[in-house]
């Protein structure tokens, strides 16, 4: 058996842990730069706020219904996520973190356990220990576990746990689930399947194997197996090293000043370099891009990107910043109002497989020591305590985050203040 644990409206629930007045009140959390709603409490969903609604469209509703609005505080969510995952992990031999608020659990070798009871215990433990409500779906395959989780949310709300323990329960769940709501079925396949009279997950599970293989390739066949209770999706205990790393942000306001934008580029480059070192990779291509706001059609538009190739693959902050700003100097044009810029490091190779260039004059072992020192200082004393001068201090380009809550669990100056 597999289980999928999912935190309910995770970002909103995180805000509620430290702010009990938010209980029973509609809460929304906004995307980067306070753009649109990316998390909604049940009360906010009931008001008709859908995923991705832009903030400016619901200003009136926020006033009228007293909706609590937050900028996304990923520092807080990341820490609470780690606490939730570790708490859940203590119940099972193996688990796979699927996203910041979801994890697959391995319930094999637990055939004589009442998994429903175990699920309920896990749910109440997480609620007590961290304060985050979770929903748990338990089923014979990953796809069915994901479906069971959704079913629990819709049909077993009071319990918050659903165990598709036998044929009848699986049957009931398959009949309830529309094909479009199956994990891994996108919009194209949804339309295609509906055209062929396949509406529910049950219909799909009864579809002829040959037909599925012809029309939906091996992915479809794997899905069919999963729906019929044959596990066909592998565990991924370790997240594979990324093939490329992107750091980009929209600016808080449209910008024209070259120096301020360059500062942003340098910060993005430094962030990429840090991520590279974390996964022990080096990049062979540094890609830089800038663009204006394509939605402001009345304004002059410009968007360009460029690849810069270091002679030797690198993950050294100073080199990546150097290459990124060289690229930026080439593509930047005065006279436009820019909305966004970013740095992508591409063509990654493991740190220990670098081909050194004959004319490489950098002292790599020494640079590596410097980078290690930089990272360990920043890790122990705080993010970006030591940084390159070009990264600046003011961050005039930084994101709007007007309604940011304190980092209650990671910054001693932000801890919860209690009047006693």
Partner 1 sequence: MKTVAEFIAYFNIQVPTGFPSPAMDYLEERIDLNKVFIQHPFSTFIVECSGDSMINAFIPHKAKLIVDRSLTPKNGDIVLAVVNGEFTVKFLKKNDYNCFLVPANSKYNELKITPEMNMQVWGVVTNIITDTSDVRKCML
Stretch of 82-90, 156-164, 191-199, 334-342 contacting partner 1, by CB under 8 A: 82-90
The vertex-231 CA angle with 229 and 232, nearest 5°, equals 125
Stretch of 58-66, 175-183, 352-360, 409-417 contacting partner 1, by CB under 8 A: 409-417
Stretch of 78-86, 308-316, 352-360, 361-369 contacting partner 1, by CB under 8 A: 78-86
The minimum distance between CB 208 and partner 1, in angstroms, equals 48
- In terms of CB distance, is 31 or 410 closer to partner 1? 410
297 binds partner 1 (CB under 8 A): no
Tokens of 352: 């220990």
Question: Beta strands 2-7 and 95-99: pairing type?
Answer: unpaired
The minimum distance between CB 388 and partner 1, in angstroms, equals 27
121 binds partner 1 (CB under 8 A): no
The minimum distance between CB 21 and partner 1, in angstroms, equals 4
Max intra-chain CA distance, the chain: 70
408 binds partner 1 (CB under 8 A): yes
The minimum distance between CB 114 and partner 1, in angstroms, equals 23
35, 131, 133, 406: residue in contact with partner 1 (rule CB under 8 A): 131
User: What residue has token string 């009848």?
Assistant: 168
CB atoms within 10 A of CB 83: 16
Q: CA 191, CA 189: separation in Å to the nearest integer? A: 5
Query: What is the x/- site pattern for partner 1, positions 7-26, by CB under 8 A?
Result: -------------xx-x---
Q: CA 261, CA 86: separation in Å to the nearest integer? A: 40
330 binds partner 1 (CB under 8 A): no
The minimum distance between CB 84 and partner 1, in angstroms, equals 8
CB atoms within 10 A of CB 197: 8
- In terms of CB distance, is 83 or 396 closer to partner 1? 83
For 397, residues 6+ apart whose C-beta sits below 8 A from its C-beta are 249, 251, 252, 255, 260, 261, 263, 264
Terminal Cα distance for the chain, rounded: 48
Contact 189, 181 (CB under 8 A): no
Return phi, psi of residue 193, to 5°. -65, -40
12, 28, 130, 270: residue in contact with partner 1 (rule CB under 8 A): 130
Binding site for partner 1 (CB under 8 A): 20-21, 23, 82-83, 86-87, 125, 128-131, 408-409, 412, 415-420
């Amino acid at each position: 058996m597999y289980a999928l644990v999912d935190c309910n409206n995770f970002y909103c629930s995180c805000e509620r842990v430290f702010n009990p007045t938010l209980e029973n009140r509609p809460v929304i959390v906004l995307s980067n730069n306070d753009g649109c709603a990316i998390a909604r409490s049940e009360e906010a969903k009931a008001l008709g706020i859908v995923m991705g609604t832009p903030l400016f469209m619901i200003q009136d509703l926020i006033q009228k219904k007293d909706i609590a609005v937050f900028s996304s505080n990923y520092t807080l969510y990341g820490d609470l996520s780690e606490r939730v995952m570790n708490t859940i992990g203590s119940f099972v031999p193996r688990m796979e973190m699927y996203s910041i608020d979801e994890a697959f659990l391995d319930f094999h070798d637990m055939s004589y356990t009442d998994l429903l009871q175990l699920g309920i215990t896990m749910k109440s433990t997480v609620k007590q220990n961290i304060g985050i409500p979770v929903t748990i779906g338990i089923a014979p395959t990953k796809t069915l576990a994901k479906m069971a989780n959704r079913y629990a949310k819709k049909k077993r709300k009071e319990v918050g746990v659903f165990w598709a323990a036998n044929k009848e329960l699986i049957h009931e769940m398959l009949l309830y689930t529309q094909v479009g709501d199956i994990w891994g079925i996108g919009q194209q396949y949804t339309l295609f399947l509906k055209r062929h009279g396949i509406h529910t997950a049950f219909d799909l599970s009864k579809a002829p194997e040959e037909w599925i293989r012809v029309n939906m390739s091996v992915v479809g066949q794997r899905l069919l197996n999963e729906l019929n209770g044959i596990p066909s999706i592998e565990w991924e205990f370790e997240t594979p090293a990324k093939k490329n790393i992107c750091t980009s942000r929209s600016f808080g306001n449209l910008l024209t000043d070259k120096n301020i934008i360059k500062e942003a580029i340098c910060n993005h480059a430094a962030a990429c370099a840090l991520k590279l070192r974390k996964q022990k990779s080096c990049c062979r291509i540094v890609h830089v891009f800038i663009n204006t706001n394509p939605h402001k059609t009345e304004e002059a538009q410009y968007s360009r990107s460029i690849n810069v190739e270091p002679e030797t693959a690198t993950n050294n902050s100073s080199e990546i910043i150097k290459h990124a700003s060289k690229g930026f100097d080439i593509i930047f044009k005065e006279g436009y109002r820019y909305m966004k810029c970013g740095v992508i490091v591409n063509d990654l190779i493991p740190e220990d497989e670098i081909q050194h260039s004959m004319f490489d004059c950098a002292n790599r072992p020494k640079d590596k020591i410097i980078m290690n020192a930089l990272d360990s200082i920043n890790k122990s004393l705080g993010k970006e305590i030591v940084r390159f001068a070009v990264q600046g201090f003011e961050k005039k380009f930084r994101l709007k985050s007007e309604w940011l809550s304190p980092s209650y669990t990671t910054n001693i100056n932000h801890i919860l203040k209690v009047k006693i």
